[in-house]
Amino acid sequence: DFFSIGLPLFATRWVDPDKDGHFSPTYDVKNSGGKGPYPFGMDWVWEGASNELLYMNSMKMKLSVLFGVLQMIVGVLLRWSNAFYEKSALDFICECVPMMVFMLCFFGWMDVMILYKWVHPVDTCPSIINSMICMAMGQEDKAPLWDGSVQLAQSLMMYTVLAVPVMLLPKPFVLLWQHNKAQEQKE
């Protein structure tokens, strides 16, 4: 896919035997050891399919989420490097660690769900948006990705919620205490 134009770099993994527009996969869709899907990028046969727009927009949105979360993690890692460079334990403990916990437990979990759905055949395909809403609202997810994923999501949400007050509350009070202590020493 280059500027939303399919490029036939490799042989397609789909075939239309009756030439009626209903394509069937020629690769091992259950991932049981047969021929795999298209080697790289999007299979060019999707161009012109009846669900092309829906499928391609969904794929691009998920890729955007993956790259966006990766970019935010790099930003948090740069914040870590600043805290190390400035030798600021306060910044590291009260900002960097809770930021990374929040990022990985919430958005990292969303990325795990995206990647899991891509590489594992799931009979009842859950909606990632609904799963994230259930996670945030503390509701039971009716279509979990695997057994135990709901409990894992609940644990991750607990860490996410606990990271917020650690990120917001201690640093201003410590800075106020340090400021008052410096003012007392001046007097």
Average pLDDT over the chain, rounded to whole? 86
Q: The whole model's pTM is what?
A: 0.77
Distances (CA, A) of 184 to 90, 170, 173, 187: 21, 21, 16, 5
- From its phi and psi, is residue 31 left (phi > 0), alpha (psi between -120 and 50) or beta? left
Rounded Cα gap, residues 50 and 122, in angstroms: 23
Tell me what pLDDT residue 35 has: 76
**3-state secondary structure string across 90-114:** HHHHHHHHHHHHHHHHHHHHHHHHH
Tokens of 103: 């990022």
Tell me what pLDDT residue 41 has: 74
Tokens of 43: 């299979």
Tokens of 179: 């400021």
What are the residue ranges of helices labelled H in the chain?
52-85, 89-91, 97-102, 109-119, 128-137, 149-168, 170-186
pLDDT, one tens digit per residue, over 54-76 is 888 888 899 999 999 999 999 99
Rounded Cα gap, residues 47 and 84, in angstroms: 49
What does DSSP assign to residue 24? E
pLDDT, one tens digit per residue, over 73-84 is 999 999 999 999
pLDDT, one tens digit per residue, over 124-145 is 778 888 889 989 998 888 888 8
Q: Which of the pair, 168 or 36, is modelled with greater confidence?
A: 168
